[in-house]
A = this chain, B = another copy of it.
Amino acid sequence: MRVIKIGGNVVDSVERRASVLDAIATNGLPTVLVHGGGKLATELAERLNVPQTLVDGRRITDAETLRIVTMVYGGLVNKTLVAELQARGVNAIGLTGADGNLMLAHRRVHAERDYGFVGDVDAVNVALLTMLAEAGYTVVCAPLTHDGKGTLLNTNADTIAREIAVALSATTETELSYIFEHEGVLRDVNDASSAFVQLSRAQAQAYAANGVITAGMLPKLENAFAAAERGVRRVRITRWDALDGGTLIV
């Protein structure tokens, strides 16, 4: 299986989106595509005059913001990707974590801050993913989970990709690719060709300590290392036009 995560910088670009979807259509591997959709949610919130608070890049999710991300992530972005994959002959099926109980989560408890309707994943319905993959369906997963008590929760897409890849790895050899705007994790942010070919946790810690790897990369790297350490066969951080390239996490 292959889990591919695309963020807002890919979702928002027709060209980048097409590049990733074309690659999924020509690659034969059963795929789970996990998407974000940040900018569109921010735009809708602005048009509706719903103020947004971001802390370390995470969206504080009040009730009105939950409605917005449910509409944008679960509706607009998810169904656009599904329809575009269908046009490429890929039988895509779009799900949130509530659908088929795909991802059960609990509302985040944090000592200092109330993140609102933000969920941390407790369980992934691997049987559903396996059944759909065996029947030839490609799952497109929105960054929403649920608490099993009727409430949807906003969950970081990088984390969802990690949790799905780890859960699949218990029974199936699984690859995980984090797709973003750079060729990989860069040694020099001003040099697009400076991507590390591979990176271990020890190396990353050393590069982070001396400032070569910037703070903004650390959450993504942490998800990538955690996935590799929890049994995901291959983990990459790479660009939208090179799904098999980029920085390999070792």
- Residues of chain A whose beta carbon lies under 8 Å from any beta carbon of chain B: 44, 47-48, 67, 70-76, 78-80, 82-84, 86-87, 91-96, 98-101, 128, 131, 135, 137, 144, 146, 148-152
Contact = CB atoms under 8 A, between A and B. Distances in A.
Contacts of A101: 86, 91
Main SS class of interface, A? helix
Given A47-B48, A83-B151, A93 B95 contact: yes
Contacts of A48: 47-48
B91 A98 contact: no
Contacts of A98: 79, 82-83, 86, 92, 94
Given A86-B98, A100-B91, A70 B74 contact: no
Contacts of A144: 79
Contact of A86 (B47, B71, B72, B150): B150
Given A83-B151, A93-B100, A95-B99, 14 more contacts: A47-B47, A70-B79, A74-B79, A75-B76, A75-B78, A79-B96, A79-B99, A82-B146, A86-B98, A86-B101, A87-B150, A92-B98, A92-B99, A93-B128
